[in-house]
Amino acid sequence: MSSPHSARPVQRYGKKDDDSKPSGIGGKILAVILVIALVVVVGFVARTIQQRGSVPVSASLVTYERQDDDTMRLWVDISRDDPSEPSYCIVTALNYAMAEVGRREVILPAGGEEQTRVEVDLPTRDYPVSGGVYGCSTAIPAYMDVEDPTYLAR
C-alpha cells in the first residue's frame, strides 16, 4: 500500500510542471466584459426610471356631479409641461360595483395655460356614482381630430 505522501511516478504521469501556471488572461477578459455589461444594464435601468418619472401631462379629478341617470359631469385639473403641444386625457365614470360605465377622451388643443381646469359631460350606460381619470398623453391617436369640437375640452 502506498503512503499518501509518495511521489508521483514520473514515467506514468509525466513531470510536474510548476513553471507553466495559467496566466489568467481569459478570466480577466471575462471579468472586464461582465463589468461593462453590468454598467450598461444599470445605465439602461436608470434611464428608464428617469423617463417614467417625467410625465409631460397629468390630470387629477377635482369633483364630479351626476346630471341625470345617464350623464356624469366631471371637473378635472390638467397640468402640462408644454402647453404649445396638444394633449388629451381619458376620464371615466363608475357605477356602484366600481365597473366602468362611461369613458371619454378630452383633447386640450395647443396653447393656453400650463394648469387648466376642464368640465366634461360624460354619457354613461348605467347609473353613475363616481368618476376618475384614466390617464393622459401628448401622443394623440390617429382617430382623434384635434379640431373636432366633440373631443375638445370646455
Predicted pLDDT of residue 2: 54
Supply the Cα-derived Rg of the chain in whole angstroms.
Answer: 33
Where would I find the beta strands (DSSP E) of the chain? 57-68, 71-80, 87-94, 100-108, 115-123, 130-137
Q: How confident is the model at residue 23 (pLDDT cuts 50, 70, 90)?
A: low
The 10 Å Cβ neighbour count of residue 108 is 25
- Flag whether pLDDT at 1 surpasses 70: no
Predicted pLDDT of residue 27: 83
86 touches 109 (CB < 8 A) = yes
Percentage of residues of the chain with pLDDT beyond 70: 85
Hey, what amino acid is at 140? Answer: I
Among the listed residues 92, 90, 89, the one whose alpha carbon sits nearest the alpha carbon of residue 72? 92
122 touches 65 (CB < 8 A) = no
pTM: 0.64
Percentage of residues of the chain with pLDDT beyond 90: 49
- Flag whether pLDDT at 20 surpasses 60: no
C-alpha cell of residue 126: 348605467
Distance of CA 104 to the CA centre of its chain: 22
56-112 pLDDT per residue, tens:
898 999 999 999 999 999 999 999 988 899 999 999 999 999 999 999 999 888 888
The per-residue pLDDT of the chain, averaged, comes to 85
